[in-house]
Amino acid sequence: MDMHKRIARSAGALLWVLTIGTIALAQQPFTPVAVDVNKRLVKLFGAGGFKGLPSYGTGILVSEKGDILTCNNHILSTSDLRVHLYDGRFYQARVIAREPELDLALVRIDSDVDFLPHYDLAKAAAQPLAEPGDWILAFSNQFKIATRDEPMSVQRGVIAAYAELRGRRGIFEAPFSGEVYFVDAIANNPGAAGGAIVNRRGELLGIIGRELKNTLSDTWINYAVPVQAKVEIQRDEKLTTIDVVTFVKEAIAGSYKQSEKRAKIDRGAYHGIILVPNAVAVTPPYVEEVIPDSPAAKAGLRPDDLIVYVDGELASSIKIFREIMKQYGPGTDVKLDVQRATRLVSVKLRLAEQPKVKAVP
């Protein structure tokens, strides 16, 4: 009995030490880290006004000569791109390279500068990925709060998840669709794109992305592209893999070749669904007719069904439904969630080859 009590007391003491240690760690001031990280970031000012889009953003210094990694967004489409450093100096800048598939761009200060504080991307990318629950700080010039020598905004949070990005702005899909950090902080605000998330030691973890909505839930998301991110791109009619570090290295050297735009291939599967006429820009995918003996008919789809999800992905319009279906080939099993009257019904259909057109005698 005494032994059990001693074990219980020891376990309780250990739990108390761990709890107090965690609280103490969370309460540690992060001012020194914030000061150091702020020196490695810049405020960007460029083009704006397109449908209310901001004319400002954020960038991360990745060389002592003034090379800046940022989001490949609209503010770079200007001949008057300006950079404000942490100490109040400001310069003209120009775009050196872009990679739409990573949604990143490299910008260079258009003047001779030396020994700027910066991040070593290769060193950052050599570290293991952060894990859900890890404590982070998000730095950016959101809402244009900072100009000249004013410090960036800082938000504290945690890594909520590491998962595939499924985002959209209006009817436009997110350029990057790889795995990202989803963060428990309201980090993706106007002007934040191109900012940094770091750990408690100030080490770079990722680049804050655009303002996007989740295609599955239609809710705003807060995310950052990891410095270890890589994508498959097409160059010279060949597929190759490019990562953030290689992009920056080749862009700084002036040898980076941007990916070629790949057209989405329609795999040509047949489902037998005839939708209502696509009369407006965002016509919902209502079923008008189901072709007899088609995969849709065999699955039990009916006229007036509203297709809501395709394999869990929100199909909010006829255009989006058709784009989603292009990626499926004959023989693929697809789950559709449809609204039928007041109920949500799930149906599974196996897609088929397109029926052959009979020759007219």
Tens digits of residue pLDDT in 261-274 = 665 567 788 999 99
Quick one: pLDDT at residue 18? 44
117 and 206 in a single domain? The answer is: yes
326 and 284 in a single domain? The answer is: yes
Q: What is the residue-wise DSSP string for 250-269?
A: HHHHT---PPPPPPPP----
166 and 281 in a single domain? The answer is: no
Identify whether 51 is part of a domain: yes
Identify whether 13 is part of a domain: no
- pLDDT tens per residue, range 99-128: 999 999 999 999 999 899 999 999 999 999
- pLDDT tens per residue, range 46-91: 987 666 678 999 999 999 999 999 999 889 988 899 999 999 999 9
What CATH code is carried by the domain that includes residue 313? 2.30.42.10
225 and 279 in a single domain? The answer is: no
Distance CA 172, CA 167 (A): 9
Quick one: pLDDT at residue 22? 47
Q: Which residue has the higher pLDDT, 35 or 356?
A: 35
234 and 137 in a single domain? The answer is: yes
Structure confidence at residue 15 as a pLDDT band (50, 70, 90): very low
Is residue 105 within 8 A of residue 92, CB to CB? The reply is: no
Identify whether 114 is part of a domain: yes
Strand order in the sheet with 220-221: 172-173, 167-169, 212-214, 220-221
184 and 109 in a single domain? The answer is: yes
82 and 231 in a single domain? The answer is: yes
Identify whether 24 is part of a domain: no
Burial letters for 151-183: b for 16+ Cβ neighbours within 10 Å, e otherwise? bbbbbebebbebeebbbbeeeeebbbebbbbbb
> Where in the sequence is the domain holding 196, given as residue range(s)?
32-253
Number of domains the chain is built from: 2
Is residue 153 within 8 A of residue 196, CB to CB? The reply is: no
- pLDDT tens per residue, range 165-194: 988 776 456 788 899 999 999 999 999 999
Q: What is the pTM of this model?
A: 0.71
- pLDDT tens per residue, range 279-331: 776 788 999 999 999 999 999 999 999 998 888 777 878 888 888 888 888 99
294 and 206 in a single domain? The answer is: no
173 and 42 in a single domain? The answer is: yes
Identify whether 194 is part of a domain: yes
**Per the structure block, which two tokens stand in for 361?**
């005698």
What CATH code is carried by the domain that includes residue 120? 2.40.10.120
289 and 338 in a single domain? The answer is: yes
Identify whether 164 is part of a domain: yes
Identify whether 6 is part of a domain: no
